[in-house]
Chains A and B, each alone.
Chain A
Amino acid sequence: MTPFDYARPIDAADALRRGAIAGTAYLGGGTNLVDLMRETVARPERLVDVSGLPAAIEETEDGGLLIAAAVRNTALAEHRIVRARYPLLSRAILAGASAQIRNMATVGGNLLQRTRCTYFYDTEGSRCNKRQPGSGCDAREGFNRIHAVLGGSDACVATHPSDMCVALAALDATVHVDGPAGPRTIPFADFHRLPGDRPDRDTNLELGDLVTAVALPPLPAGTRSTYRKVRDRASYAFALVSVATTLELEGDRIKQVRIAFGGVAHKPWRAMRAEAALLDRPATHQAFLDAAAAEFVDARPLRDNAFKPALASRTLAAVLEELAMGDAA
């Protein structure tokens, strides 16, 4: 770990003042950043510890929720309103990491966690455009079973590792940000980036920007939702693919559906094509498979991950069928 100065701000304004200096990183629970610093993938000169800032979960006037960035993952997953109204979010968080890590990790830090691409971590022996812009990508022709099949570029085929963010993408969450340019909100779909020729930039945040909260809009009454994760072992593993979805039926027809995939792209992948294909159609298994096929028609699998479009499609169809029957857990 390279040396750094550590500061604990007294409030958000103090954090923003300290965070506006180049070479500064905000520190949440540390479960990703401390590891990246130990591996010298991240080498901040100053840490501003925002994990002690207020951590409230509040109901908003429109019937949604405002979740402060310092809320711990466990606290969000166990919150009674989240469990009752946003079960896909509780389930997504509980499917991620281990209990110890969920007790440490913050909501803001979860949004900003970095890819688990092994070449990104391998500072000694691998080229990686995300870690060292312009150096090349050893994943594209390497072991790429966990890598992207949608939205990748010649420069980068990494995937975003978060479970929670897949649920937030399906929920049309809004990210509240404060920074040198003042406070603003970013729709969740615009928060993370596709790699293009700048895979070193995971998000659209600018220098000094601090995630302060995540806002959830209310789900219409009668909406069912869940999260399903497929991985190599039953627990404590990153997703091969995952699905977060909400479904509202009118009779046997689909009135509203929102779908996001994890493990398939550089960002949580909102499946707009699949949603469009399902809207106002009968909720049948074949319709679900057809919708998934529409989403993955442009998939560009690599050597080791050609299984992902089929696995993600079957997972989506299974989850939607269970939601339509009303028996998804």
Chain B
Amino acid sequence: MSLIVNGKQVHGPADPRVSLLDHLREDLHLTGTKKGCNQGACGACTVLVDGERILSCLALAVQYDGRAITTIEGLAGGDALHPLQAAFVEHDGFQCGYCTPGQICSAIGMASELERGVPSHVSADLAADAQWTREEIQERMSGNLCRCGAHNGIVDAIRATFATEASA
């Protein structure tokens, strides 16, 4: 089996027990993706699969044969930060930084969900287009914990990056 990680084709693990998270970190040495709880409760291991955010700790790598994985290492263009990375710096979206790769991958996945109209738990009208409000962003990012408490800065960074002037 093989995976496409940040645009590069790589081998999958020989042992089906290996999680996507461990394969990224231990075999491919892409240590940007973090192992927090390793049980699906913290979001630090969030990566994008074909553009959708998932938890790599609960994913067996073997299940993702042929899929395109994007990690935090795949977002910047050389030394040029992804606009959301720059916004996290600008808006103090982190202190220790451990949850940050997961936060950023999660927010990119969230932006495409919101743009295609996926409702959330706090959407008052299931039929209406979702808005880039703080409440919507907070709910949609609730799967990513930050023990430093930088959540307000994270929401600011996400709004600054993705919210259009019409809905900001």
Interface residues of A (CB under 8 A from B): 1, 3-6, 8, 27, 29-31, 34-35, 38, 47, 49, 51, 74, 77-78, 83-84, 87, 90-91, 94-95, 97-101, 103-104, 234-236, 329
Contacts and interface: CB of A to CB of B under 8 A. Distances in A.
A95 B126 CA distance: 13
A228 B142 CA distance: 18
A99 B125 CA distance: 18
Interface residues of B, number: 40
Contacts, number: 98
Interface in B53-85: 53-55, 58-60, 62-63, 65
Contact of A100 (B17, B43, B63, B119): B43
Contacts of A87: 126
Given A83-B127, A84-B127, A236-B142, A101 B58 contact: yes
Interface of B is mostly: loop
The 7 nearest A-B residue pairs measured at CB: A98-B143, A235-B142, A6-B16, A83-B126, A236-B142, A78-B118, A94-B121
A31 B143 contact: no
B32 to A, nearest CB: 17
Nearest to B145: A236
B41 to A, nearest CB: 8
Contact of B39 (A35, A100, A103): A35
Given A77-B118, A101-B143, A104-B54, 6 more contacts: A90-B126, A97-B143, A98-B142, A99-B106, A100-B53, A104-B55
B87 interface: no
Interface stretch (B23-31, B93-101, B109-117, B158-166): B109-117
Interface in B120-168: 120-121, 123-127, 138-140, 142-144
Interface of B: 15-17, 19, 38-40, 43, 46, 52-55, 58-60, 62-63, 65, 106, 109-110, 113, 116-121, 123-127, 138-140, 142-144
